Structures are given as C-alpha cells and as structure tokens.
C-alpha cells in the first residue's frame, strides 16, 4: 500500500491509501474486533468468531487444520490492521523522501522508469527504518493480543496471561512475561542482523 501510494503521490489513489491507513491505525482493535464479529461473523456468516475450533464437530487431519485456520482469520486480521497501516504509512513517507534524493533523480534522468527507481533504488534504502520499526512493534503485538484474544475467545498467550493475572497465578504470569521478553529480544537481534544485511555500512562488533 505504501509503494502504491508513493508511486502516484497526490493522486486519488494516494489519498485513498492515506485515508485507509490512517483509519486502520486509528481504530481501536477491540472495537474493530466487535465490528468484524457483528458483520463478518453474525450478519454474513463468513468466518467463525469464537474459540479456536468448532465445538460441534471434532475434525481431524487437514479438516482440523482448515477449521483452526478459519477461526484464526478474523483475530489475526484485526490484530494486524494497525500494524499494517503503520508500516504502509512509513513506507510511503520513506519512499517519497528517497525519491527526492540525488541518486533517485539521477536514475530518473538516465531514463530509468519510475517503477524501477521506486523498487530497485528507493525501496532498499527506505526498508531500513521499516525493519527497525517491525522489531520494535513486536511487544505491542503481544499487548494487543490480550485484547484481541479476549474479544474472540481465542485460547492463546494473551488470553492465558489475562487469566493468570485475574487468578493471581504469579508463576504463570511471570513465565509468560519472560517468554514475551525473550521473544522481543530475539526479534530485536534479528532486526539488527537484517538491517546489517540490507545496509553493508552497518557493522556490529
């Protein structure tokens, strides 16, 4: 979405992308989850809305995988909306900033198409802050999972952490906090390694 918007700045498509990403980032996940349940689950019956599996039928094999995947669609999408919107806005602004640099204008002056300048020249340079933001947002994903899993009654880490706090199960709550902390640390290290891969000028001792 950010690449599409940056490809045609100030156009109707760009304004549509900007408005969509702004709306997606601004809507609270618990309210978006309730809207998804109301329209896609209850009114139009597109996806199941509660739990991880269908309690009426016990599926096995690939049928069980499809059942879990269908139950996962809505909570995963609701949890991802704000993150995707944030990354799309950062991608758009980063690409527009890179397209004003001398190297991008030089490539365009040599006859390189705008699409190639965006994809092959501007995007790699704009990707570095995106990788950093993705690594930093993992902790917010875990915190958002508590709300989303509560709305959809999804038996995941977020719902387990909420129950541990409500039941004053300190050992379980501490274990989950450590698990989240280690996960955030691993993703942070991975984002640093990916950043060094994208930009060879970055060196870590």
Task: Pull the structure tokens for residue 45.
Answer: 């019956």
154-194 pLDDT, tens digit per residue, is 888 888 888 999 999 999 999 999 998 898 889 888 988 88
pLDDT in tens, 103-147: 999 998 999 998 899 988 898 888 888 888 888 888 788 778 888
- Write down the pTM of the prediction: 0.82
Domain boundaries, the chain: 2-198
CATH number of this structure's domain 2-198? 1.10.3720.10
């Amino acid at each position: 979405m950010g690449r599409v918007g940056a490809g045609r700045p100030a156009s109707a498509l760009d304004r549509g992308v900007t408005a969509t990403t702004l709306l997606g980032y601004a809507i609270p996940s618990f309210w978006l989850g309730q809207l998804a349940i109301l329209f896609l689950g209850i009114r139009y019956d597109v996806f199941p809305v509660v739990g991880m599996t269908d309690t009426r039928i016990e599926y096995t094999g690939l049928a069980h995988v499809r059942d879990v995947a269908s139950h996962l669609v809505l909570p995963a999408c609701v949890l991802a909306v704000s993150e995707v919107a944030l990354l799309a806005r950062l991608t758009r602004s980063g690409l527009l900033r890179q397209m004003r640099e001398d190297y991008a204008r030089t490539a365009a002056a040599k006859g390189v198409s705008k699409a190639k300048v965006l994809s092959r020249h501007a995007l790699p340079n704009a990707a570095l802050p995106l990788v950093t933001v993705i690594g930093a947002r993992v902790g917010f994903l875990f915190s958002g999972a508590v709300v989303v899993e509560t709305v959809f009654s999804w038996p995941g880490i977020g719902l387990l952490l909420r129950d541990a706090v409500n039941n004053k199960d300190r050992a379980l709550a501490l274990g989950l906090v450590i698990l989240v902390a280690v996960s955030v640390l691993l993703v942070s290290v991975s984002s640093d390694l990916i950043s060094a891969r994208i930009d060879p000028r970055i060196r870590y001792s």
